[in-house]
Amino acid sequence: MDFLRVAGAQLNLVVGDIDGNTDRIIEALAWAEDCQADVVLFPELAVTGYPPEDLVLKESFIRDNISAVHRLAARSGETAAVVGFVDRGAGQRDDAGHPRVHNAAALVAGGGLRGVYHKGLLPNYGVFDEDRYFAVGENGGALWEINGVAAGVSICEDIWVPDGPPAEQLAAGAEILLNINGSPYHRGRGSERQEMLAERARSAGVPLVYLNLVGGQDELVFDGQSMVFDASGELLYRAAQFEEELFWVDVPLPESSGVAPQAVRVTTGDLLDGDQEPAPPTHEPYEEIEEIYRAICLGLGDYVRKNGFSGVVIGLSGGIDSALTAAIATDALGAAAVRGVTMPSRYSSTGSVEDSRSLATNLGIDFDEISIEPPFTGFLEALGGAFELTEVDVAEQNLQARARGALLMGLSNKFGGIVLATGNKSEMSVGYATLYGDMVGGYAVLSDVSKTLVYQLARWRNRNGEVIPQNSIDKPPTAELKPDQKDTDSLPPYEVLDPILERYVEDDASVGEIVKEGFDQATVERVVQMVDRNEYKRRQAAPGVRITTKSLGRDRRLPITNKYSG
């Protein structure tokens, strides 16, 4: 049986690093040639990194990325390469005066650019804004002949819709579908993708190769998990998740119809003779909690590495959120890159300091103890006149949190390292956090992780022995900003709060709908009001890793000034 040797370069590329990305692509291209691959796939917008956002509006950026494609093309040989880049459109400008450009795939081989495909379906929902940047491609039915095989090339969203460009390619006689992606991770995304792709291959009756980007980019994590399906929809190979990988698979081709479809010639060699090699052993998906943990590690690690930070600084409260954050940071960056700081006040239990110290010991990270009493007392002294005759209230509580934030930033400014915010999604949703206090940080590791999920992740991290002190897991959550404070003084218990938040924030359900599902009306109304009122805090929050279908970041865009509630 004939087969096409398809290689995949599941690379971790860097947004804006056109030269660096191009070097990585050329390196992988050489590897693919060594493997005698007929074709090698690179991720969506591999040259520019994904998503480049408003960099696409810069004329110099477009020019530089096109030069890079010419450099790639000049370097190409017998293996055809499919490489994502930003192509110039037909020269018109859009309503805003920007040049019309396309999210495109270059087909390069034999020292030249053989063809270009323009993405036909542009996602413009959730985290995606592709209508802002790209014009719709109109060569959806084009085919590319690679060593005599008619291939349909498409980009990400193109394959998600049953009658998208790949359907046109099949109608034109495509014998294999090649789809390149920058598809971000969220919980459960892998199996959704696999099901959809298997169904596409099966109903098409041709093999399908899905190549995905890997790596963290601000809020997004691209999880790799590239996949190869045969013409019956069987999974032949699944690449690693959250890791770079170069792979190739001999993809069996279905019987040719005998009619040679119209196609642009990319390579003119012959298919490999002889028996096809078996696909390498497939990577099994991680169990869900481990997968989430690894997604967060990659998101954090890449944010720190790609932005050139020497390490991280974390305030350790003795609670579970900061403990889990420190464990993730240690796993992502190594213990030497992590500095934990406990900052007790008059309201801190001795347990909090001890638990933080145990955690630091267990992780092997640097540990400081800095009392906030001197600055806190200083604040109270400075405000003595203004606060005279007032009751002690949330103002004094927030000053403690803000003293801590400033101390962490002081360490960061003095010694380098980025401060990590430790708040979870439940707190951030209801605004149970101090702006410029515990919200301080360049990256918010748990900002898309509900408190309930924080517990699950902590228990998973402790599966081989106690790293996060059991006491931090067991004790009732508290901000320790006044005597005997508990989260439940201000919030419903998390087992009630979290399902309400999931329905309201992630699913856009109304109060009425949530109440119908069995929740107490007054509780739901109170939670919804807290969420709505605290939009201003979230607007000033650090970005964090997106792991759900709707994080509190770029995929949730609510007005601050807003009288709607419900």
Which of 77, 123, 252, 285 touches a copy of itself by CB under 8 A?
123
For residue 79, the minimal CB distance to a copy of itself (Å) is 27
Is the separation of the CB atoms in 241 and 28 below 8 Å? no
State in angstroms the smallest separation of the CB of 180 from a copy of itself: 19
Per-residue binder mask for a copy of itself (CB under 8 A), 491-510, x = binder: -----------------x-x
Please classify residue 28 by burial: count the beta carbons closer than 10 Å to its beta carbon, then call 0-12 exposed, 13-18 middle and 19+ buried. buried
- Counts for the chain of helices (H) and strands (E), in that order: 18, 20
Per CB under 8 A, which of residues 503..542 are in contact with a copy of itself? 508, 510-513, 536, 539-542
> Is 290 among the residues that bind a copy of itself (CB under 8 A)?
no
Q: Scanning residues 424 to 443, which ones bind a copy of itself (CB under 8 A)?
A: 435-436, 440, 442
Query: Which range binds a copy of itself by CB under 8 A, 34-42, 315-323, 401-409, 454-462?
Result: 401-409
| Binding of a copy of itself by 455 (CB under 8 A) | no
- Residue nearer to a copy of itself on the CB measure, 63 or 70: 63
**Per CB under 8 A, 33 contacts a copy of itself:** no
The minimum distance between CB 429 and a copy of itself, in angstroms, equals 14
Which phi and psi angles does 518 have, rounded to 5°? Answer: 110, 10
User: Can residue 366 be called a binding residue for a copy of itself (CB under 8 A)?
Assistant: no
Least gap, CB of 383 to a copy of itself (angstroms): 6
430 and 497 Cβ atoms separated by less than 8 Å: yes
Residue among 158, 219, 229 at smallest CA distance from 194: 229
Interface size with a copy of itself, residues (CB under 8 A): 98
Strand partners, 81: 40, 108
Tell me: does residue 306 bind a copy of itself (CB under 8 A).
Answer: yes
Which of 456, 415, 412 has its CA nearest to residue 315? 412
Residue position matching structure tokens 């959730």: 126
CA 96, CA 66: separation in Å to the nearest integer?
22
Retrieve residue 304's tokens: 């720190």
Q: By CB under 8 A, is residue 38 in contact with a copy of itself?
A: no
In angstroms, what is the minimal distance from the CB of 377 to a copy of itself? Answer: 6
Decide whether 48 or 267 has the Cβ nearer to a copy of itself. 48
Residue 65 CB coordination number (10 Å): 26
Q: Report, in Å, the least distance between residue 564 CB and a copy of itself.
A: 3
DSSP result, 44-92: TTTTT-S--GGGGG-HHHHHHHHHHHHHHHHH--SSEEEEEEEEEEEEE
For residue 92, state whether it binds a copy of itself (rule: CB under 8 A): no
Q: Closer to a copy of itself at the Cβ: 131 or 466?
A: 131
The reply on whether position 474 binds a copy of itself by CB under 8 A is no
Q: What residues between 145 and 184 interact with a copy of itself by CB under 8 A?
A: 157, 160-161
Let me know: does 373 contact 351? Beta carbons within 8 Å: no
Q: What is the DSSP string of 91-127?
A: EEE-TTSPEEEEEEEEEEETTEEEEEEE------STT
Of 25-33, 84-92, 269-277, 385-393, which part binds a copy of itself (CB under 8 A)?
385-393
Check binding of 374 to a copy of itself (CB under 8 A). yes
Binding of a copy of itself at residue 98 (CB under 8 A)?
Answer: yes
Residue 75 engages a copy of itself in binding (rule: CB under 8 A): no
* Residue 44 C-beta: closest distance to a copy of itself, Å: 15
Between 33 and 244, CB nearer to a copy of itself: 244
Number of residues that this document lists for the chain: 566
Instruction: Please report how the helices 350-363 and 320-333 are oriented relative to each other, as an axis angle in degrees rounded to 10.
Output: 20
- The secondary structure of 358-382 as a DSSP string is HHHHHHT-EEEE--SHHHHHHHHHH
CB-wise, 40 or 135, nearer to a copy of itself?
135
Which residues 42-61 are close enough to bind a copy of itself by CB under 8 A? Answer: 49, 51-55, 57-61
What does the DSSP 8-state code read for residue 211?
Answer: E
* 312-316: strand order across its sheet: 366-369, 338-342, 312-316, 418-421, 443-444
Question: Binding a copy of itself by CB under 8 A: which of 277, 393, 466, 517?
Answer: 393
Residues 407-426 that bind a copy of itself (CB under 8 A): 407, 409-411, 413-414
Asked if 218 interacts with a copy of itself (CB under 8 A), we say yes
Shortest distance, position 301 Cβ to a copy of itself, whole Å: 12
Known catalytic residues are 44, 119, 156
**Residue 302 lies near a copy of itself (rule: CB under 8 A):** yes
**Of 264 and 515, which has the nearer Cβ to a copy of itself?**
515
Residue 536 dihedral angles phi and psi, to the nearest 5°: -65, -35
Task: State in angstroms the smallest separation of the CB of 229 from a copy of itself.
Answer: 22
**Considering only residues 398, 452, 472, 548, which one is a binding residue for a copy of itself as defined by CB under 8 A?**
398
Long-range CB pairs of 359-362, under 8 A, 24+ apart, other chains included: 359/316, 359/323, 359/326, 359/327, 359/467, 359/468, 359/469, 359/472, 360/316, 360/326, 362/466, 362/467, 362/468, 362/469
Bridge partners, 150 (sequence order): 145
Closer to a copy of itself by Cβ: residue 130 or 168: 130
Q: Shortest gap between Cβ of 103 and a copy of itself (angstroms)?
A: 15
Question: Which range in 30-38, 105-113, 256-264, 554-562 contacts a copy of itself by CB under 8 A?
Answer: 554-562
Are 352 and 317 in contact, with CB atoms under 8 Å apart? Answer: yes
* 30 contacts a copy of itself (rule: CB under 8 A): no
Contact 117, 146 (CB under 8 A): no
DSSP secondary structure code for residue 420 in this structure? E
Considering only residues 126 through 145, tell me which ones interact with a copy of itself, judged by CB under 8 A: 126, 129, 131-132
